[in-house]
Structure formats: C-alpha cells, structure tokens
Amino acid sequence: MGPIPLCLLLCALPLCVPVRGGHGDDDDDDDKEYGWSVQSVPLILDRHTVHLQTPKFGGKGEGADGEGEGMCGIECRSALPPPDQATVESMLGYETVYENGTRTHTDVILQGLNETTSRTPSHTRRKRQVYGLDGRFVISDSHFTTNYPFSTAVRLSTGCSGVLVSAKHILTAAHCVHNGKDYLQGVHRLKVGVLQLKSKRGRAEGGEEGNTEKERREGGGRQRTRGSRSSRVQRSTETKKQPSFRWTRVKQIHIPKGWIHTGDDDTNAVTPDYDYALLELKRPIKQKHMELGVAPASKPLPLGRIHFSGFDNEPEGGQTEGEREKVVYRFCSVTEESDDLLYQHCDAQQGASGAGIYIRLRQEVEGSNKRKWQRKVIGVFSGHRWVEGDRGEKRDYNVAVRITPPKYAQICHWIHGDPSMCAKA
C-alpha cells in the first residue's frame, strides 16, 4: 500500500463514478433505479431508564478484529426465523456511559416495525484482511485529506476509526469502546481526532529569515528598495500547511444492548450484528459531516460496491508517526448480503474498524426535477470474521454492519433526541 498519483486517484474515487448506463443524464432510467428512495423508519421511543453501576473500564481489545470461533454463517442465518418485535426491542435497548463515569440503561419500544427479507447466499472463499493485491489508497494530499468526503473519517484514541455523522456525533464500531463485557481501558478519557490543516512557517535558506526578522524589529519605518535581497528572502518564505489531529473529548457513548454479553455462557455471545456505537463530542466540529442512510434492501447494492476511509494500523514497525495521520481509502464489491451484515473482501487492517461504510446515489432535489449525487453512511466496518459455512467449514470475510431501518431509528434518535425527526430515511 502506498500513495497514489492524484491523476489516477481522481479516476478511482467515488467523486467521478459514472452513472449506470454511462449517459450521465438526470432522467436516465438506470440512474433512477439506483437513486436514493425515501424509506419509512419505525418509531423508537424510550420506555424506561435506570442507573447502573459505574463500569470498571478494564476491558481489553482481544478479539476486536473478529478472531476466534466462527460465527453463524449466511446459510445458518437464512434458516433462522426472523426475530419477533420483543427481541428486536431488547437488542435495541441501549447503555449510555457519560464522561464522569456514570452509566444508564434504557429500554425502548418500537412502533411500525416492518420485517425484512433475507438474501440468497452464494459461495466464495478468499484470504484474510488483505486479499491478493492491496487495493487501498493512501490519501497523502492534504487538500483531499481535509476535504469532504475524506474529512469525515476520524481516529479514536483507542486506535479505531469512525465517521462524522453530525457536528457533534461520531459513528464507530462498538468493539472500539466495549469488548462485550466491559468498556475498554482508557474509554473514560476517550478522545476523537479530526485531521485539520496546521500552518507552519517555512524557514528560508541560509538563516536569512532571522536577519530579516531582526531588521523588521529594529528598522522601524525604514523603507527597503524593491528587489533587495532581504525583501526577496521575505517573499520566498511561504506558509506550509500540514494535516494534524485536533483531539476532542467525548461527552457520552451509546451502545446497543445487542452488543453487550450479559450471560455466563455463549448463548448470549456478542455478534457483529450490533457492532456499532455513537459518540457525542463535548464540542462541535465545524466541517461537513456525512448523512446517515439506510442500506438499500429491495435489491443488491448499486454495482455491488461500497466505500470507506479510515486510519489503518499497519503491522508493528511498518508505520511511521506521519503515516498514522494519513487517511486510507478503499472501495470494493460486496460478496454477500444478509439482513444485518455485508460480507466483503475490502482490504483493511485493524485500525480501519469503525469506519463508516458509504455508497453514492442520486438524490432528488426538493422543489425541482433535478437529482444530485449524495453520499450516505449505510454501515459500519466491523473487521475480520471467520464465518461458518453450511457444511461446518469456516470462510474468511471482512464484515460490515448494515444500517437497517430499526438501527437507523435508534442512531437517529441518539443524534437528535426527538423521534419525530427520524420518521424517514
């Protein structure tokens, strides 16, 4: 993996993905087929909130990338009956941990929950995490790094990635803050880093900058002749801007109960279905965020392609401090889809966990017949998982959590605090 020339990057990025059919017209039939459609979302209401004991913040991150025993695979999931409303409500109940260490649990009720349709699986087997040739692109140009959509990628102090979904909210993976049994060490002082340009005054060659500064202090109103050496040196001193992290403390964290392991056996073990969390920051970030969306369910994803950017952790010794401040972008095809998960082989390392999975479709402009391109977050990258096949064998996937209508309702409620603002996606 390495930096990619800007001329090639521009052709690869979703900034210039052509309209299906290649015509590029707003009225193209294929374009309409793959546009954003308004989806009804169930109404989620808080029913009861209780205070819990202060967490120990002693959890460790083992297994955060999904290593371990194989989870129920696609065929296994398709054979299971759909969960009833009570089960969904139980899984969407949530914990909130505050910056002072206090914690609450909230039960919810759902109104207008619609059943989803399982997808027909196919069979594919690949290698783990980085599949074949590395398809990741390092966004090394500071102009792209600090501008939309790459600027929505953030880094957590726990080492994961996340995505900015409002001025004060970060969507990430639950395992980045909670291992299923306890909150991770350091989460009580969790910070979120956003890449922003930092100005640095360049130093002129030969130490002349110091002499020019001295002249400015001692010379008072003395005029310099045009074209003098000192004025040429001063003009050659340029302001260089380099991206660096600006860190913001987290005010509170929301995690769905579906991620929390409450039993002593494996009957209630965590699964990636609910591997997502929302962080509320202490102060807003003044830059464009990415809108939240619902993963299309009526047909496969447009072109089967997803995109996400994060801060991948390379193997030990293979990454310098400066490289840890570079956004890594990738896009790839989705191999399989279930009701709650996207199975794919996007190249990624552990630091990418929590990155926002997004797609880019046409959105109707209100009050006109025009349509514009719109990116929306429709999932959260969970990481590598061993998935059990129909014959008991284990398959190799990188897995992302789908944002379904109930999950959208929950996350939107966490962001706005007003269920009426979350009736449509």
Class of residue 75 by CB neighbours under 10 A (exposed 0-12, middle 13-18, buried 19+): middle
Q: Is residue 231 part of a domain?
A: no
Q: What is the pLDDT of residues 20-47, one digit of tens each?
A: 333 333 333 344 456 888 888 999 999 9
Q: Is residue 230 part of a domain?
A: no
Rg of the chain in Å (alpha carbons): 24
114 has a pLDDT exceeding 80: no
Q: Is residue 215 part of a domain?
A: no
Q: Is residue 225 part of a domain?
A: no
> Please, which pLDDT band fits residue 291 given cuts at 50, 70 and 90?
very high
49 has a pLDDT exceeding 90: yes
> Please, which pLDDT band fits residue 16 given cuts at 50, 70 and 90?
very low
> Please, which pLDDT band fits residue 345 given cuts at 50, 70 and 90?
confident
Asked if 192 contacts 281 with a C-beta cutoff of 8 angstroms, the reply is yes
pTM of the predicted protein model? 0.79
Residue ranges making up the domain that contains 405: 6-206+238-422
> What is the residue-averaged pLDDT of the chain?
76
> Please, which pLDDT band fits residue 7 given cuts at 50, 70 and 90?
very low
344 has a pLDDT exceeding 60: yes
Q: Is residue 211 part of a domain?
A: no
141 has a pLDDT exceeding 50: yes
Q: Is residue 227 part of a domain?
A: no
Q: Is residue 378 part of a domain?
A: yes
190 has a pLDDT exceeding 90: yes
**What's the number of domains the chain is made of?**
1
Q: Which two tokens stand for residue 175?
A: 């395992």
CATH number reported for the structural domain that contains residue 252 in this entry: 2.40.10.10
Q: Is residue 69 part of a domain?
A: yes
68 has a pLDDT exceeding 80: no
Q: Do β-strands 153-156 and 161-166 pair in parallel, antiparallel, or remain unpaired?
A: antiparallel
The single-letter code of the amino acid at 313 is: N
